[in-house]
A = this chain, B = another copy of it.
Amino acid sequence: MPIEIPDVVIDRLPLYYRLLSRLDSEGRSVVSSQELGEELGVTPAQIRKDLSYFGRFGKQGRGYSVPRLLDELKAILGLDGRWKVVVIGIGRLGRAIASYPGFEGQGFDIIALYDASSGLVGTEIEGQRVKDVATLEADLKKTAVDIGIVAVPGEHAQDVVDTLVDAGVHAILNYTPNRVQTPPNVEVRHINPVLFLQSMTYHLKQRRGG
């Protein structure tokens, strides 16, 4: 690997991908970095530079072929296959996640749901039988899973993550407010709406007080 690709670039690619998907479904065949930039609120130069890390996909004087660029991004991000996902913690949030069509639609197959409550285990949620979290470890050893989505109460997050990581899961989406420790070769993303609210209140306060 000659050049190292910055993480900020990787984080922007899904945004490009999403916009390209929309343009493609609208039948657009060509688009310029200018137009992409306007739509996403970033500079055209930014987009061109980001894409140039991976190849020369555009044509001068014309722009980018929408289906071509979409395919390239698909390959770069690994969205040309399907990924196996499990959800742990099928409470109110977990149920919303399990029923969200946006995951399946984007190549993420929710192959199992896990909970610890005896009242829930065995029931059907969105056509899936909820399994006992006690069987998670054994299941993971039988069937490799790519991504774990964690929606248990915060105090159990680390335990669940440890089980996932020990069984070879290398990507975790953590909905609990607790930070979890993982080895460096595991990707973790935290979703905590309260942190967003708290940074917004700073700005609200600024606007008022001056």
Contacts and interface: CB of A to CB of B under 8 A. Distances in A.
A78 interface: yes
A135 interface: no
B193 A106 contact: no
A145 B147 CA distance: 38
Contacts of A18: 177, 195
A200 interface: yes
A124 interface: no
B202 A76 contact: yes
Contact of A198 (B77, B99, B149, B196): B77
A100 B18 CA distance: 29
A92 B100 CA distance: 9
Identical chains bound together, number? 2
A194 B106 CA distance: 8
A92 B15 CA distance: 25
Contacts of A76: 202
A94 to B, nearest CB: 9
Contact of A204 (B13, B91, B171): B171
A62 interface: no
A203 B11 CA distance: 11
18 contacts: A10-B199, A10-B203, A13-B202, A17-B198, A18-B177, A78-B202, A78-B205, A83-B197, A103-B197, A146-B201, A147-B197, A173-B193, A173-B197, A187-B200, A189-B199, A189-B200, A191-B191, A191-B196
Interface of A: 10-11, 13-15, 17-18, 40, 76-79, 83, 85, 91-93, 95-97, 99-100, 102-103, 106, 108, 146-147, 149, 170-171, 173, 177, 179, 185, 187, 189, 191, 193-205, 207
Given A14-B194, A106-B198, A187-B204, 17 more contacts: A17-B198, A40-B179, A76-B202, A78-B201, A78-B205, A83-B197, A85-B197, A97-B193, A103-B193, A103-B197, A106-B194, A146-B204, A171-B200, A173-B196, A189-B199, A191-B193, A191-B196
